[in-house]
């Protein structure tokens, strides 16, 4: 009896997900919140929301299920969206801003793992690790002799695009390898000890390597274009752990195929899980199936962070990972 | 100096070959079908050997060259040189330390990330089209893991510095404890293996360190442990390593060196929890050039009666 009463006092959280995305921490969350999950119901989502979600103040967005202004219009009491991803480009940010809906993301939970993968992809591209591994597995070493030389990482100039929690973890790691760091961000960050470039093309001109760690927005869509890649140059390497559409992918493929750029390490693509086939025959490209955050440790950290954000919200305390939206 | 005979033991780097050819009377050992005849004919002309990790200067070769004054190896490792014989005969020996430290350390971290984050397997997964059907499984986080380093010399210390930037805790075993080090020291390799998740072999190959990574050490590292070898193949009991990996007694391995190069154990070629590289530790254009320049500089210093730059003996 007491348990049921406690249940009724718990705050309500709307779980918003496409049916194929699971909620790994349902049990943990159910101890503290009443979970409303339209994907569990046979009713179409819009009528479910209209019936049951009118007074819902908080929404937990699982995976990158899109939240449109139509959806938001069915949630008149919504004040908070807790995203389970680093990127929030799947949410109608303009509408949230207009409505005063706060958004928290998960970059902080993932930052180390994403940074680790960015560095791993970079070393792989420069030192040809995946290519050399294929060479050995294919039995080619005794037949063909030494593998072609790679390129040294130490002393290279790294340009980090987006200096948030992920970008700063990348910088911290690469400094230990003897790289010099510069960055581009929406605004110069006074606490960051590295040179700032106001635009990406300028950063590319001064860099041997570009690492993309920024959010996907209207401004950053196809930010890595023909001009930037030309500025980066023939030996330049691009690592993308942000979103596929930060790069003009068609242009990138052309640059790689024609040898106008040195190489690329990509965890994300414009049209996942489709990857341009021309890349499969290239040895100076390392491809990853959007796995930057998928370690058990990151997922645990994600669960902790999203729970913490929800708890903070319902006890009127400051949110843990509020996203600053700039429009 | 172009009358001074220098013997190159095998093809190692075309830039080095060209530079040696331009400065000295260069003999290429591999171009002669009968090595015995070649050496008999030319033994009095050869004053220097340039060797590498494949073919160095063993007792037989040293004995065949009565005018030999210096062995300059295109490597930092000395395991292919009969150092005792060189000392006996007053032959100088130089190697290429420091210039390759960064590259080897970078590769060690690249191997760690490759094994833990399955980067090579993921790349294959995408190329094969499998991503269209299903996501790749979870991989393992590197940041914050405990790293044990066997041999805290130049390369071991460089690996430690990099791993620290990933928030890793560092421990090591070395012939002797390093007084200025903040890292945790273990007096034997088994305790080191018991207390770390990732064990990196970064020591020199000597009589003492042959098969230093044996069954006991591998078992101590355990089913979640990862072995990274950027030292020499002979550091590891390879047969034992293979069975441990096949049986799941060891979590994974990243190998740049093998007991019988260029052969890598066949049973490893199909495993998803290993990364296999063809001894590329220092194989970048920048470092190969720096190593070659150092070999040439040492030879020129010797024949100019100037102090050697990087003498071992």
Q: Are residues A168 and A251 in the same domain?
A: yes
In a domain, B201, yes or no: yes
In a domain, B292, yes or no: yes
Among A9-18, A68-77, A146-155, the least confident range: A9-18
Tokens found for residue A68? 């449109």
Counting the structural domains of chain B, the total is 2
The pLDDT of residue A2 is 46
**Whether residue A314 has pLDDT greater than 60:** yes
Q: Indicate which residues of B carry an active-site annotation.
A: 232, 261, 279
B107 inside 8 A of chain A by CB: yes
What percent of chain B is predicted at pLDDT more than 90?
97
Phi, psi of B172 (to 5 degrees): -155, 160
Q: Are residues A238 and A305 in the same domain?
A: no
Q: Residue B110 belongs to a domain with what CATH number? A: 3.40.50.720
Q: Are residues A128 and A23 in the same domain?
A: no
**Whether residue A253 has pLDDT greater than 80:** yes
Q: Are residues B136 and B242 in the same domain?
A: yes
- Go through A58-73 and write b for each residue having 16 or more CB atoms within 10 A of its CB, e for each that does not: bbbbbebbebeeebbe
Average pLDDT value over all residues in chain A = 93
> Would residue A290 show up in a list of annotated catalytic residues for this protein?
yes
Q: Are residues B15 and B129 in the same domain?
A: no
Q: Are residues B121 and B258 in the same domain?
A: yes
Closest-CA distance of chain A to residue B275, Å = 6
The pLDDT of residue A327 is 66
The pLDDT of residue A292 is 86
CB A214 within 8 A of CB A162: yes
In a domain, A324, yes or no: no
Q: Are residues B134 and B18 in the same domain?
A: no
In a domain, A321, yes or no: no
* Rounded Cα–Cα distance for residues B55 and B50 (Å): 9
The answer to whether B136 contacts A289, with C-beta atoms less than 8 Å apart, is yes
The stretches in chain B having pLDDT less than 70 are none
| Averaged pLDDT for residues A83-95 | 93
A141 vs B103, B127, B264: nearest CB:
B264
Q: Are residues B132 and B169 in the same domain?
A: yes
The pLDDT of residue B310 is 98
Q: Are residues A143 and A242 in the same domain?
A: yes
In a domain, B69, yes or no: yes
A293 inside 8 A of chain B by CB: no
Range of the domain at B254: 100-276
In a domain, A320, yes or no: no
Counting the structural domains of chain A, the total is 2
Q: Are residues B122 and B239 in the same domain?
A: yes
Range of the domain at A113: 109-287
The answer to whether A134 contacts B162, with C-beta atoms less than 8 Å apart, is no
Q: Are residues A113 and A185 in the same domain?
A: yes
Single pTM value for the model: 0.93
Q: Residue B257: which of B268, B270, B271, B245 has the closest Cα? A: B268
Q: Are residues B202 and B142 in the same domain?
A: yes
Q: Are residues A89 and A170 in the same domain?
A: no
**Whether residue A4 has pLDDT greater than 70:** no
Chain Cα centroid distance, residue B88:
26
CB A202 within 8 A of CB A253: no
* Rounded Cα–Cα distance for residues A314 and A82 (Å): 12
Q: Are residues A146 and A191 in the same domain?
A: yes
In a domain, B311, yes or no: no
Q: Are residues B136 and B156 in the same domain?
A: yes
CB B84 within 8 A of CB B310: no
In a domain, A319, yes or no: no
Q: Are residues B152 and B179 in the same domain?
A: yes
Q: Are residues B83 and B165 in the same domain?
A: no
Among A86-90, A285-289, B172-176, B226-230, the least confident range: A86-90
pLDDT band at A1 (very low <50, low <70, confident <90, very high): very low
Do β-strands B252-255 and B274-276 pair in parallel, antiparallel, or remain unpaired? Answer: parallel
In a domain, B238, yes or no: yes
Q: Are residues B75 and B113 in the same domain?
A: no
Q: Residue A57 belongs to a domain with what CATH number? A: 3.40.50.720
The answer to whether B113 contacts A175, with C-beta atoms less than 8 Å apart, is no
Q: Are residues B167 and B145 in the same domain?
A: yes
Q: Are residues A80 and A220 in the same domain?
A: no
Q: Are residues A197 and A269 in the same domain?
A: yes
Closest-CA distance of chain A to residue B112, Å = 9
The pLDDT of residue A8 is 67
> Would residue A270 show up in a list of annotated catalytic residues for this protein?
no
In a domain, B158, yes or no: yes
* Rounded Cα–Cα distance for residues B9 and B50 (Å): 6
Q: Are residues A138 and A253 in the same domain?
A: yes
In a domain, A127, yes or no: yes
Q: Are residues A266 and A305 in the same domain?
A: no
In a domain, A322, yes or no: no
The pLDDT of residue A19 is 78
């Amino acid at each position: 009896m007491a348990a049921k009463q406690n249940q009724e006092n718990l705050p309500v959280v709307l779980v918003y997900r496409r049916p194929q995305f699971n909620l790994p921490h349902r049990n943990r969350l159910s101890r503290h919140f009443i979970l409303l999950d339209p994907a569990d119901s046979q009713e179409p989502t819009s009528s479910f929301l209209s019936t049951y979600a009118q007074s819902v103040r908080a929404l937990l967005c699982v995976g990158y299920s899109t939240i449109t202004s139509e959806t938001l219009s069915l949630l008149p009491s919504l004040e908070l969206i807790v995203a389970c991803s680093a990127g929030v480009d799947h949410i109608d940010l303009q509408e949230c801003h207009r409505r005063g809906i706060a958004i928290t993301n998960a970059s902080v939970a993932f930052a180390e793992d994403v940074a680790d993968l960015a560095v791993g992809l970079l070393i792989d591209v420069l030192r040809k690790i995946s290519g050399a591994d294929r060479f050995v597995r294919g039995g080619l070493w005794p037949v063909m002799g030494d593998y072609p030389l790679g390129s040294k990482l130490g002393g290279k100039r790294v340009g980090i695009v987006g200096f948030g929690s992920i970008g700063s973890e990348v910088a911290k790691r690469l400094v230990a390898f003897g790289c010099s760091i510069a960055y581009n961000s929406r605004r110069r960050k006074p606490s960051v000890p590295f040179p700032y470039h106001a635009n990406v093309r300028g950063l590319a001109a001064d860099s041997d390597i570009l690492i993309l760690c920024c959010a996907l927005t209207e401004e950053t869509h196809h930010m890595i274009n023909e001009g930037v890649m030309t500025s980066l140059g023939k030996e330049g390497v691009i690592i993308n752990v942000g979103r596929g559409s930060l790069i003009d992918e068609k242009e990138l493929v052309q640059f790689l195929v024609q040898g106008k750029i040195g190489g690329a390490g990509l965890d994300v693509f414009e049209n996942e899980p489709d990857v341009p086939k021309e890349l499969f025959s290239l040895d100076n490209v390392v491809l990853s199936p959007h796995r930057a955050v998928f370690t058990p440790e990151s997922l645990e950290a994600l669960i902790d962070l999203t729970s913490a954000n929800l708890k903070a919200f319902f006890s009127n305390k400051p949110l843990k990972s509020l996203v600053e939206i700039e429009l | 100096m172009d009358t001074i005979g220098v013997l190159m033991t095998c093809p190692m780097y075309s830039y080095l070959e060209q530079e040696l050819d331009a400065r000295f009377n260069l003999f290429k050992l591999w171009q002669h079908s009968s090595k015995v005849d070649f050496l008999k004919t030319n033994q009095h002309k050869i004053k220097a050997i340039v060797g590498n990790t494949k073919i160095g200067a063993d007792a037989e070769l040293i004995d065949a060259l009565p005018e030999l004054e210096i062995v300059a190896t295109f490597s930092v490792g000395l395991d292919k040189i009969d150092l005792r014989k060189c000392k006996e005969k007053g032959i100088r020996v130089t190697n290429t330390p420091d210039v390759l430290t960064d590259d080897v350390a970078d590769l060690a971290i690249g191997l760690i990330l490759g094994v833990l984050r399955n980067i090579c397997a993921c790349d294959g997964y995408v190329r094969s089209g499998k991503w269209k059907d299903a996501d790749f499984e979870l991989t393992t986080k590197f940041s914050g893991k405990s790293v044990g380093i066997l041999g805290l010399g130049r390369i071991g210390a460089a690996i430690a510095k990099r791993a620290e930037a990933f928030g890793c805790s560092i421990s090591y075993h070395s012939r002797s404890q390093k007084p200025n080090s903040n890292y945790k020291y273990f007096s034997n390799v088994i305790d080191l293996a018991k207390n770390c998740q990732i064990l990196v072999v970064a020591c020199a190959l000597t009589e003492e360190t042959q098969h230093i990574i044996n069954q006991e050490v591998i078992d101590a590292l355990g089913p979640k442990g990862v072995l990274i070898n950027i030292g020499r193949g002979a550091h590891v009991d390879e047969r034992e390593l293979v069975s441990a990996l096949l049986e799941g007694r060891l979590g994974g391995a990243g190998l740049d060196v093998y007991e019988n190069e260029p052969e890598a154990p066949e049973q490893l070629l199909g495993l998803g929890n290993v990364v296999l590289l063809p001894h590329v530790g220092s194989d970048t254009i920048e470092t190969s050039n720096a190593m070659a320049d150092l070999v040439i500089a040492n030879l020129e210093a010797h024949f100019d009666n100037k102090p050697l730059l990087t003498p071992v003996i």
